[in-house]
Amino acid sequence: MLGELAPFLEGEPLKPQEMESFFRPGLGEAASVFEHCARALDASLALGGHGLPLIGGGDWNDGMNRVGRQGRGESVWLGWFLHAALTQFAPVAERQGQAERAAQWRAHAAGLARALESQAWDGDWYLRGWYDDGAPLGSAASEACRIDAIAQSWSVLSGAGDPIRSRAALDAVERELIDPDASLALLFAPPFDAGLEDPGYIKGYPPGVRENGGQYTHAAAWTVMALAGLGLGDRAGALMAMLNPINHSRTRSEAQRYKVEPYAVAADIYAHGLHRGRGGWTWYTGAAGWLYRAGLESLLGLRRRGQALEIDPCIPHHWAGFKVRYRHGASVYAITLENPQQVCRGVAQADLDGAPLETRPLRLPLLDDGQTHEVRVRLGPLSENDDAG
């Protein structure tokens, strides 16, 4: 697949005064899928004054399209995300015979990690970025967007954040952004309103609606994954339950407030006073895929690794266990997990068809032999300091 050829699209570069352009692209040279990916990474290596990636016309939050419109604004979230992309794709480059490129990417990722810790830590959480003029975005001193969830969650998901700081940052997310009474997990707070900051078209949304300080479920799923990544199973499970759409319509009054389908994930939920708790876009959202991954990979801990299935759950301590039927080709793996000692994390014992498995890490070899295989897993304390979350 990585060797398959595909053409690049061609078009006129944007002029200095242009923010966007509508045109019919042409077809350019053909290159391998790997080369398409590699050039995209190469194009992302430009840095700003704090040693972090330029935000340009917006990053994941495309509504922040004027933070870096002059070409100097930087994104802390993109620093974490790019670190993950570079480090995970470097081994792929080596397998493609691109050792020099892989070395460059790893060196760049190491520089990002240093800059993130030396420049982006704000005392209790990580900044979201910097405007073109060097003013911070997502700082405790900011009038709006004092704290942004995705800059905190990706300090964990990238694997690059300082664990002590990441724990403090996730504590701040729960303290500042999660409202269990209203069942909301906000993207950031406070929303942009009448202040002088001009982050972009995001400010055109009413405060507390969509990306402007409402719940953006896609980002909230990342918070679940980050909490699980820190071993905080109770907190990850509680947030996952809060995001479950069916829990927004358990009663008639809840359904009348939520107003959208309880069986489809809403992209956003409003925090605006007049519409607090009302669901936004449904059906079109990628948040559903991220919630599925958060549940399957982060809570239940099932991750495919080549020809093996890694099992590393992080669950609420009161869960007695769970069962999963995992299909691999014509085979079925019937997985039964037990949690007799009420811990959140830590595989103490496992066996496959009665034969013991190595548990650190637990990687189940997958065979497509048409058989049903019985897998039993038992959780237990990793140490006397096991954290119940």
Q: What are the residue ranges spanned by the domains of the chain? A: 44-299, 303-379
- State the average pLDDT for the chain: 95
Structure-block tokens of residue 273: 């006073």
Q: Helices 149-157 and 76-95: crossing angle, nearest 10°? A: 30
> E-strand spans in 306-384?
308-311, 321-328, 331-338, 347-352, 355-356, 363-365, 372-379
Alpha-carbon span 114 to 255, nearest angstrom: 47
Q: Do 302 and 308 touch, CB atoms closer than 8 A?
A: no
To the nearest 5 percent, what fractions of the chain are helix, strand and coil? Answer: 35, 25, 45
Lowest-pLDDT choice from 62-66, 281-285, 316-320, 363-367 = 281-285
DSSP string, 247-261: GG-SSHHHHHHH-S-
Q: What percent of the chain has pLDDT over 90?
A: 92
* Burial of 262: CB neighbours in 10 Å, binned 0-12, 13-18, 19+: middle
Domain 44-299 sits in CATH 1.50.10.10: yes
28 has which bridge partners? none
Which residue carries 């006129």 as its tokens? 12
pLDDT at res. 385: 46
- pLDDT recorded at residue 389: 56
Is the CATH number of domain 303-379 2.60.420.10? Answer: yes
Tell me if residue 336 falls in helix, strand or coil. strand
Q: Which of 295, 311, 302, 331 is nearest to 377 (CA)?
A: 311
Angle at which helices 99-119 and 76-95 cross, to 10° = 160
pTM: 0.95
Peptide bond into 190 cis (omega under 30): yes
Tens digit of pLDDT for each residue in 110-159? 999 999 999 999 999 999 999 999 999 999 999 999 999 999 999 999 99
CA distances from 174 to 78, 152, 238 (A): 22, 11, 11
Q: What is the mean pLDDT of residues 177-204?
A: 95
Nearest 5°: phi and psi at 227? -60, -45
Determine the average pLDDT of the residues in 250-256. Answer: 94
Q: Does the structure show a pLDDT above 80 at 109?
A: yes
